[in-house]
């Protein structure tokens, strides 16, 4: 392939070698090649339909591009930094392969609308894969929730024992976070699905192009409505990065709990050996490396979001070379996120609950104190007074290092005469969770109902949502 720059007409001196390497993006943007070719084929077909190219010229271009696509796929294509980026590498190879006609492909087009199109096509596919991976994780969560619908553990606020909850309910909380994440991606994908091609460098083109046709060939909803905006904004990438950051933040929170729960002090769960590693010095160690790494990787993704926001913030219209910097953060976001979701979905089914330890922990910390207050309210005492009475009962339990249910009926009646022997039904863990039986409550029956509602909603999500 000749190394002559495709834009060198007005230049009399060659590019400095360091500048060439500094400005090139082909080392990373070659990943967009299949989408670049897809976009070029659609563009060529539109040009032929509009009689801007002859049908023979179009056929030659399409055949040439298809051959190049195969070469790239098979790793036979030679990428050259002298040709700067994926777009010019492919165009130069096309001209080398089919001759003069190759030079006509770029009619009515610029790399500015080309690259904006390529990234959208690529990200559209990646978002579908991410949504499918999210669904896998969510399915695994529903399976655990089903198995552990009646398993009781302490629920925390401020990481202090608050009220008993069911483990199934806890898994459904995670499920809901990811449900919103999936809908954020769907929203973002819909907004992104507009086609920049036809915007050319920035102002549009003088050829009689048919943007509706190109858009429909590439399955875009419509052409972008403003050429300056089309080549310039990367808000779709930022929006995706924000959605990706939230997914990673959610996975990081889940990981944090998995890490805590698998410590000797909690002992609520064990993760399979295949997702943990040992210590080179302490023989007893089984470290939850996978969740720890996920918690760590969330920082990278949030960092990429900040990078993209900062990249955009001072750019005047329209295209600026700054935008070339959008790719590495985006690529790394997608790769990290997909890898994380894949390993999370594989790890979850290995989670084993230590129901005894969870129960023991729920019995500590006076988790049913609110239930006693609610009991007093049902017997006619105002909530604020009930709160005060139970506070004094709690103080006695703390002093005697016992649970509320360990106190005798006489002792309890010393605090309030409305207390009868049925109080013990409410002081048990089972009584406490079963009583919270409304939409969104922790009662095992509600958890089972929520799972039954969630399953079809998950199945109904089309592959790309
Ligand atoms: N490699 C460039 C990018 O990633 C492609 C567009 C270059 N356009 C230009 N006028 N230099 O943004």
pLDDT digits (tens, 9 = 90+) for 205-249: 999 999 999 999 999 999 999 999 999 999 999 999 999 999 999
- Whether 214 is covered by a domain: the verdict is yes
- Whether 2 is covered by a domain: the verdict is no
- Residue 21: give its domain's CATH number: 1.10.275.10
- Whether 388 is covered by a domain: the verdict is yes
89 and 172 together in one domain: no
| Average pLDDT, integer, range 373-400 | 96
| Average pLDDT, integer, range 32-52 | 98
- Whether 1 is covered by a domain: the verdict is no
| Domain end position, chosen among 360, 375, 394 | 360
- Whether 250 is covered by a domain: the verdict is yes
- Exposed/middle/buried for residue 76 (C-beta within 10 Å: 0-12, 13-18, 19+): exposed
Q: Kindly list the distances between the CA atom of residue 43 and the CA atoms of 29, 59, 120, 206, 429, in Å, as whole numbers in the listed order.
A: 20, 12, 15, 15, 66
- Residue 410: give its domain's CATH number: 1.10.40.30
- Residue 152: give its domain's CATH number: 1.20.200.10
| Domain end position, chosen among 77, 107, 137 | 107
The answer to whether 326 and 239 have CB atoms below 8 angstroms apart is: no
In this predicted structure, the answer to whether residue 331 has a pLDDT above a threshold of 70 is yes
3-state secondary structure of 223: strand
309 and 450 together in one domain: no
196 and 303 together in one domain: yes
50 and 19 together in one domain: yes
The answer to whether 141 and 175 have CB atoms below 8 angstroms apart is: yes
pTM above 0.75, yes or no: yes
116 lines ligand 1 (CB under 6 A): no
40 lines ligand 1 (CB under 6 A): no
Per-residue pLDDT at 15: 80
Per-residue pLDDT at 417: 96
Per-residue pLDDT at 8: 82
349 and 451 together in one domain: no
295 and 430 together in one domain: no
Q: Tally the domains of the chain.
A: 3
| Average pLDDT, integer, range 407-411 | 96
* Cα-only R_g, the chain: 30
85 lines ligand 1 (CB under 6 A): yes
Measure 111 CA to ligand 1 centroid, in angstroms. 6
- Whether 190 is covered by a domain: the verdict is yes
Q: Which residues are catalytic?
A: 158, 279
DSSP 63-80: HHHHHHHHHHHTT-----
| Domain end position, chosen among 107, 126, 155 | 107
Q: What percentage of the chain carries pLDDT values higher than 90? A: 90
Question: CA-to-CA distance for 463 and 135, rounded, in angstroms?
Answer: 9
In this predicted structure, the answer to whether residue 9 has a pLDDT above a threshold of 90 is no
Question: CA-to-CA distance for 166 and 149, rounded, in angstroms?
Answer: 6
84 and 120 together in one domain: no
In this predicted structure, the answer to whether residue 65 has a pLDDT above a threshold of 90 is yes
203 and 307 together in one domain: yes
- Whether 465 is covered by a domain: the verdict is no
Average pLDDT across the chain, whole number: 95
Place of tokens 């084993």: 352
161 lines ligand 1 (CB under 6 A): no
In this predicted structure, the answer to whether residue 1 has a pLDDT above a threshold of 70 is no
156 and 269 together in one domain: yes
Domain containing residue 170: 112-360
267 and 282 together in one domain: yes
Per-residue pLDDT at 286: 81
- Whether 328 is covered by a domain: the verdict is yes
Nearest CA to ligand 1 atom 12: 324
Per-residue pLDDT at 462: 60
Which is the closest atom of ligand 1 to the Cα of 201?
10
Per-residue pLDDT at 61: 98
Nearest CA to ligand 1 atom 3: 324
304 lines ligand 1 (CB under 6 A): no
344 and 390 together in one domain: no
248 and 293 together in one domain: yes
| Average pLDDT, integer, range 45-50 | 98
Question: CA-to-CA distance for 390 and 106, rounded, in angstroms?
Answer: 78
| Average pLDDT, integer, range 257-272 | 96
Closest CA to 90 of 167, 30, 11: 30
Per-residue pLDDT band at 463 (split at 50, 70, 90): low
Closest CA to 427 of 358, 368, 345: 368
């Amino acid at each position: 392939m000749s190394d002559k720059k495709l834009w060198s007409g007005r230049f009399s001196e060659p590019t400095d070698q360091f500048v060439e390497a500094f400005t090139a993006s082909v080392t990373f943007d070659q990943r967009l090649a299949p989408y670049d070719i897809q976009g070029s084929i659609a563009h060529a077909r539109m040009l032929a339909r509009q009689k801007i190219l002859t049908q023979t010229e179009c056929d030659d271009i399409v055949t040439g591009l298809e051959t190049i696509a195969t070469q790239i796929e098979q790793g036979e294509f030679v990428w050259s930094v002298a040709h700067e980026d994926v777009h010019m590498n492919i165009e130069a190879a096309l001209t080398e392969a089919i001759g003069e006609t190759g030079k006509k492909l770029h009619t009515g087009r610029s790399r500015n609308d080309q690259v904006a199109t390529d990234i959208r096509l690529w990200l559209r596919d990646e978002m579908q894969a991410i949504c499918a991976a999210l669904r896998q994780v969510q399915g695994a969560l529903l399976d655990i929730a089903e198995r552990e619908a009646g398993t009781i553990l302490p629920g925390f606020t401020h990481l202090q024992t608050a009220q008993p909850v069911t483990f199934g309910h806890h898994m459904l909380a995670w499920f809901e976070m990811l449900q919103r994440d999936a809908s954020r991606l769907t929203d973002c994908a819909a907004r992104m699905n507009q086609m920049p091609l036809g915007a050319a460098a920035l102002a549009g083109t003088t050829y009689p192009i048919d943007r509706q046709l190109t858009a429909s060939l590439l399955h875009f909803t419509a052409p972008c409505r403003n050429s300056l905006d089309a080549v310039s904004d990367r808000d779709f990438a930022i929006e995706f990065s924000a959605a990706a950051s939230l997914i990673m933040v959610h996975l990081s929170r889940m990981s944090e709990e998995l890490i805590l729960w698998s410590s000797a002090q909690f002992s609520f769960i064990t993760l399979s050996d295949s997702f943990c590693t040992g210590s080179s010095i302490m023989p007893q160690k089984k470290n939850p490396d996978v969740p720890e790494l996920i918690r760590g990787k969330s920082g990278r993704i949030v960092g990429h979001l900040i990078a993209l926001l900062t990249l955009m913030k001072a750019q005047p219209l329209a295209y600026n070379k700054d935008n070339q910097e959008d790719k590495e953060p985006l690529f790394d976001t997608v790769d990290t996120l997909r890898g994380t979701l894949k390993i999370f979905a594989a790890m979850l089914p290995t989670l084993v609950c230590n129901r005894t330890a969870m129960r023991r922990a729920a019995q500590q910390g006076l988790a049913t104190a609110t239930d006693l207050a609610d009991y007093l309210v049902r017997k006619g005492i105002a909530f604020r007074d009930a709160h005060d009475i139970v506070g004094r009962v709690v103080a006695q339990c703390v002093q005697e290092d016992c649970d509320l249910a360990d106190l005798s009926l006489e002792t309890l009646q010393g605090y309030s005469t409305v207390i009868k022997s049925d109080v013990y039904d409410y002081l048990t863990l089972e009584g406490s969770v079963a009583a919270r039986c409304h939409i969104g409550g922790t009662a095992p029956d509600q958890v089972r109902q929520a799972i039954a509602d969630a399953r079809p909603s998950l199945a109904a999500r089309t592959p790309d949502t």
